[in-house]
Structure 1
Amino acid sequence: MTRPTSRRVLVTGASRGIGRAVAQAFAAQGDTVAVHYASSPGDAEQTLASLAGDGHVLLQADVGDPDAARRLVEDVVEALGGVDVLVNNAAVAPGTANRHRIGEVGYEAWQTTWRRMIDVDLLGAANVTYCVADHLIGRGVPGSIVNVGSRGAFRGEPDFPAYGAAKAALHAFGQSMAVALAPHDISVTSVAPGFVATERQLEKLDGPAGDELRAQSPHGRVGTAEEVAAAVVYLASPAAAWSTGAVLDVNGASYLRT
């Protein structure tokens, strides 16, 4: 079955950073985008306003809530008439407020952080994937799902173990879905970015840790959100259909897997 030239794309966690760049990249090639956000309406509205073309929509949901994840997909289908591509980017990202290294946090904080990161970063993506895949299967059409994972899934995250574990599980989930959904002509892939110069990371890059972060790559710099977005757009394209099940490192050779 021929894939449509212009597709309807749901990008979760698209209010800024990688999600915004992904939404912009799809819109720039003529796709219609559903911009999802959880708690930053102002940033999400800026993303929406920055998109080329028209017909794009803005939707709010806490994907860590299974019912909200289901409603999100239902709302996208109603607003756009369907979904052809899903990008699972929404995540509780590591930060000062949720650092949870063993020996430095209490058990209650440990439990709270693990629960929230797993609920959003893994189960949220799994639930949205289920609903989008169910929609595609019901329509009898091909589709693409791309998960935004992390280099931390492979090299470890001692300060944020729940994040590393969730992203490792997300990669494994994507590979399981690639096998399960192949008979329906739905491709499932993942990207594993290294450190990316998003808005929330600028202070860190400008501070004492900046030089060390840039030195992690032999290129002497960190990645950009646009570079990750380019990889996502490629993996979601018909040209990458035979790469289903792949996890693509996007880290400037800062971490090499064997």
Structure 2
Amino acid sequence: MTDKKTHILVTGASRGIGKSILETLYGPSVSALGQSTTGQNGLIAANFADTGAAGGLWDSALEKLDGRIDVIVNNAGIFENNPIDSADADWLESWNATMQINLTAAAELCRLAVKHFQKRGAAGRIVNIASRAAYRGDSPEHWHYAASKGAMVAMTKTIARGYAAQEILAFAICPGFTMTGMAEEYLESRGGDKLLADIPLGRVAQPEEIAEMARWCAFDAPPSMTGAVLDANGASFVR
């Protein structure tokens, strides 16, 4: 990056990993904005379930950041049960909603970011928060979640390969269980002790740990690392 302020947009910043990322990025050399569905606490409101929300967020962020974004962190996502014995229409609706919020909105923002970087002729970075599920899979109720995160990793690698020569870098971070609202509910519903026994570290990750990885990718990761996928799962899944 340059010696001027780095302008950063973080999605899903109202709680958990996204909130920690936004807090980690604050500093005298950074102007960072966050998104949430409701827009409370100074965040930009954008409901990714709605058509056009990603583009609207991008335009709002550009306006607030004087027409320049240097880094985007795609963290927004949902994690909802979708049993295979649900009614056909309900199962498909849940599948499509997860894909829209977890993948399509992120893809729209990645596309806008790449075009923005290209138009400015400037370096830029994309940091996508995926999941261990991209490689290990998830529960039988979460086909859609695993598929969305696997696709996010593939998208990140494709962006990295396609635009590295233009100094547009892309990284993916794949957390395992992280102590957020979504993970706490899942752990409780599945018997927390049994799931924790599958994590050699003996505990789930803390949001601050993932936030530090995102900060490093946004600022310090060497360009030759573009396309890298960073795991943070307490050795519960090693590749």
Q: Does residue 1:88 correspond to 2:74, yes or no?
A: yes
- 2:90 equivalent among 100, 103, 109: 109
Question: Counterpart of 1:239?
Answer: 221
- 1:202 equivalent among 178, 184, 188: 184
Query: Deviation string for 1:182-213 (max 9, x for gaps)?
Result: 12201001000000011343355567722123
* Secondary structure in structure 2 of the residue aligned to 1:236: helix
Task: Decide which moves more: 157-166 or 212-221.
Answer: 212-221
Q: Is the 8 A contact 2:10 2:72 kept in 1?
A: yes
- 1:73 equivalent among 58, 64, 67: 58
- For structure 2, the 5+ residue unaligned runs are none
Residue 238 and residue 211 in structure 1: after superposition, are their counterparts in 2 closer, same or farther (change >3 A)? same
Q: Cα RMSD between the aligned structures?
A: 1.8
Q: Is the 8 A contact 1:88 1:148 kept in 2?
A: yes
- The amino acid that maps onto 2:48 is V
Q: Does residue 1:3 correspond to 2:10, yes or no?
A: no
Question: Counterpart of 2:143?
Answer: 161
Q: Does residue 1:63 correspond to 2:48, yes or no?
A: yes
Aligned pairs (5 A) from 1:11-22: 11-22=10-21
Residue 208 and residue 64 in structure 1: after superposition, are their counterparts in 2 closer, same or farther (change >3 A)? closer
* Secondary structure in structure 2 of the residue aligned to 1:235: helix
Task: Decide which moves more: 244-253 or 209-218.
Answer: 209-218
Query: Deviation string for 1:225-258 (max 9, x for gaps)?
Result: 111111111112243321110111111101112x
- 2:175 equivalent among 180, 188, 193: 193
Residue 239 and residue 192 in structure 1: after superposition, are their counterparts in 2 closer, same or farther (change >3 A)? closer
- The amino acid that maps onto 2:32 is V
- 1:212 equivalent among 173, 184, 194: 194
Q: Is the 8 A contact 1:63 1:120 kept in 2?
A: yes
Q: Percent identity?
A: 34
- The amino acid that maps onto 2:172 is S
What is the TM-score when the length of structure 1 is the normalising length?
Answer: 0.86
**Aligned-partner Cα distance in 2 for 1:128–1:66:** 13
Q: Is the 8 A contact 2:202 2:234 kept in 1?
A: no
Q: Does residue 1:132 correspond to 2:113, yes or no?
A: yes
Residue 170 and residue 29 in structure 1: after superposition, are their counterparts in 2 closer, same or farther (change >3 A)? farther
- The amino acid that maps onto 1:148 is I
**Aligned-partner Cα distance in 1 for 2:26–2:99:** 30
Runs (4+) off by over 4 Å: 203-208
Equivalenced residues, count: 237
Q: Is the 8 A contact 1:63 1:125 kept in 2?
A: no
What is the TM-score when the length of structure 2 is the normalising length?
Answer: 0.92
Q: Is the 8 A contact 2:79 2:182 kept in 1?
A: no
